[in-house]
């Protein structure tokens, strides 16, 4: 707890275009650690125009600097190739590729449509995560076997 009338010292200062977000992140980080951090904006005395500062009581400055010097652990991602995108459908017709993508989306399989109508010689392709490739191929095969009548019946329902 800061002493009454204890001076505050600046432990973070930024004039970057994203200084609002940077300062808010530092402020939140220090407050989560129990420090009495405050945000000082450029409308306050001693703050240079266009900058944001985070200040703490002088007695907490060493701890604040220690916290800010500690690298933040990155969030672990999925390093496997299960999320790599693979092509499950190719066609020269954009509408056909869109129809396949709609069938996959309706089945809960995320997909991406790749292609450009500006270059008609390039095909359109539908991609899904590698881990869902077999399921996507099964759904596409079933949709082809059922034909357009099944799609119209499902839409009518």
Which residues contact residue 1 at a Cβ distance below 8 angstroms, ignoring those fewer than 6 apart? 36
The answer on pLDDT for 21 being more than 70 is: yes
DSSP state of 17: T
| Percent of the chain whose predicted confidence (pLDDT) is above 70 | 94
User: What's the length of the chain?
Assistant: 157
141 vs 114: CA distance, rounded Å: 20
119 vs 155: CA distance, rounded Å: 32
150 band by pLDDT with thresholds 50, 70 and 90: low
Domains and CATH numbers, the chain: 8-69 (3.30.70), 85-144 (3.30.70.1530)
pTM comes to: 0.49
Mean pLDDT for 105-131 is 90
DSSP 3-state assignment of 140?
A: helix
């Amino acid at each position: 707890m800061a002493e009454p009338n204890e001076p505050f010292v600046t432990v973070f200062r930024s004039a970057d275009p994203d200084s609002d977000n940077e300062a808010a992140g530092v402020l939140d980080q220090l407050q989560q650690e129990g420090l009495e951090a405050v945000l000082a904006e450029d409308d306050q005395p001693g703050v240079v125009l266009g900058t944001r500062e985070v200040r703490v009581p002088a007695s907490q400055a060493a701890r604040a600097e220690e916290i800010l010097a500690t690298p933040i652990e990155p969030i672990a991602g999925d390093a496997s190739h299960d999320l790599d995108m693979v092509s499950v459908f190719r066609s020269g017709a954009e509408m056909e590729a869109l129809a396949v993508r709609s069938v996959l989306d309706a089945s809960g399989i995320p997909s991406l449509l790749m292609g450009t109508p500006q270059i008609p010689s390039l095909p359109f392709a539908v991609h899904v995560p590698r881990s869902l490739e077999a399921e996507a191929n099964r759904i596409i095969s079933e949709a082809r076997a059922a034909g357009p009548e099944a799609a119209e019946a499902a839409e009518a329902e």
